[in-house]
Homo-oligomer: A and B are copies of this chain.
Amino acid sequence: MGVVDDRIAELGLTLPEVVPPVAAYVPAVLDGSRVYVSGQVPMVGGVLAATGQVGELVGLVSAEKAHELAAVCALNAIAAIKSLVGDLDRVERIVKVTGFVASDPSFTGQPGVVNGASELFQQVFGDLGVHARSAVGVAALPLGAPVEVEVIAHVRA
């Protein structure tokens, strides 16, 4: 168990199995010292934890719920990184996070939603988890996921 693995355990979290791609690609690619992680949706045990657009209207996924789902996406991304590099202590920086939020056009709280992912990266990796980020509200996401998070990380050789 490495330092980062210990921190994940202290946070009461468990790394999931890597989410198998829905299609013809891989969960992550190591390119030199950078890991590109595929867009992660909030799969838990092979099933989406929720579906639908995020917004304030009845029947939509609430911003609070979506914030939790973004953390699930981030955890899935960390599992994808670990599956590729073996030891999470090799992560030198979470460089860039892009958070796509399936949004009712009237919903503009994407930053609060994607914070669910950003905060998890900081909790798990400390200062090394602080990243550049874009948050975007989109029309729809794969399988009806409310949130999708992709990541670029820098790892030690």
Contacts and interface: CB of A to CB of B under 8 A. Distances in A.
A19 interface: no
A31 to B, nearest CB: 5
B135 A142 contact: yes
Interface in A16-41: 21-29, 31-34, 36-39
> What DSSP secondary structure best describes chain A's contact surface?
mixed
A133 B148 CA distance: 11
Nearest to A34: B31
A20 B31 CA distance: 29
Contacts of A108: 51, 140-145
5 contacts: A26-B130, A29-B93, A31-B93, A108-B144, A136-B138
Interface of A: 21-29, 31-34, 36-39, 51, 53, 93, 95-98, 100, 102-112, 114-115, 118-119, 122, 130-145, 148, 150, 152, 154
